[in-house]
Amino acid sequence: MDVRNQGLAGVVTADTAVSMVDGEAGRLIYRGYDIRDLCLHYEFEDICYLLWHGRLPDQEEKEALKAEFREQRKLSKELISLIQLLPENMPMMSVIRTCISSLGGASFSWPPTSDQAVKLTAIMPVIIAVRYRWVKEGILVEPNEELSHTANYLYMLHGSIPEKAHLMAMNAYLILTMEHGMNASTFTSRVITSTESDFVSAVTGAIGAMKGPLHGGAPSEVTKMLGEIGGKSNVEPWLRDQLEHGYKLMGFGHRVYKTQDPRAEALKEVTASLVEKDDWLELAHEVEETAGALLEEYKPGRKLYTNVEFYAAAVLRAVQMPDELFTATFTASRIVGWSAHVLEQAENNRIYRPEAHYTGIVPK
């Protein structure tokens, strides 16, 4: 076996019009649109429509999708009971996997549809928020039918209408993490769909892949770093100490992008206008600026830029997202991309059946 293909590295597994990840140029394209433009000028529901239908919605279509989201975010009595009965120490990703799996039934039969995508996308953050508040406070929270998808998630977690600055930052984060090419969880969803299994099974499998720390690892190490730095006066001394001892700066460098991570650039742009309103975002901007100069000093020519996890950590902490919900929130965003790939796979389906190179003993 060619070791360069281990883990399917460099192997093209599908034709797709959903997104393009250009690591060399540092670009991320959703359905022909640059990701920076999308997160700066559109809402979560707009980009859902784009990824699922191949174009941005007009105003009537957008309002109809928002209304459908509001309708589908209601939890059944059975699902609420399941959320309450699951062991208190069960990790949130396992809770999501179990709850989504429980939805399987006739309404999610083959072939997958955009209505099914709406149902699963709308309900996931509600499951997260209801479970979190139940375990932490012993209360059951209800969705706010007047709020958008993003605003309702923050409302259900904190019990108050989110500030405009925080809503803007969270909306941008969710859009930027919706889709990212043929990653492990997306590939999982397409493989399951290729068997003509149902939408719920495809998403449940994708959640299982996202749960692994090599894929869905949360940016908690970045929040830990920012927490240890503490304030702007300590930025340069702390970073110099790390570099002089040969330690890695968390949130810098990316396996795919050889230049700036476009998602990090977009989040930086979105949060730039909010810096004066949030100490945590102000600290993150200061750390990035100082680290960039120090990395060039200590590691000249390496070109280590911030990745999406760096600014994701800053945004999630700014909106008071508990660290334990980072990966779950990432999952509530990425389900949009999974759904787009499930729908695309079903349009021109062929079951995945790769081969393996046998390395064992052959009897004589």
Residue 252's DSSP bridge partners are: 306
User: Does the annotation count 166 as an active-site position?
Assistant: no
3-class secondary structure, 21:
strand
User: Does the annotation count 88 as an active-site position?
Assistant: no
Cα separation, 312 vs 319, whole angstroms: 11
Burial per residue of 326-345, b for 16 or more beta-carbon CB atoms within 10 angstroms, e otherwise = bbbbbbbbbbbbbbbbbbbb
Alpha helices in 112-198 (DSSP H): 114-137, 149-158, 164-176, 184-194
Residue 34's DSSP bridge partners are: 29
> What tokens were used for 351?
């079951």
Q: Determine which one of 45, 309, 341, 344 is catalytic.
A: 309
- Which residues are CB-neighbours of 253 under 8 A, at least 6 positions away? 304, 305, 307
Q: Which residue has the tokens 């009897």?
A: 363
Q: Determine which one of 149, 166, 180, 254 is catalytic.
A: 254
Q: Which of 64, 67, 27, 33 has the alpha carbon at shortest distance from 47?
A: 33
Q: What are phi and psi of 261, to 5 degrees?
A: -70, 115
Residues annotated catalytic, as ranges: 254, 309
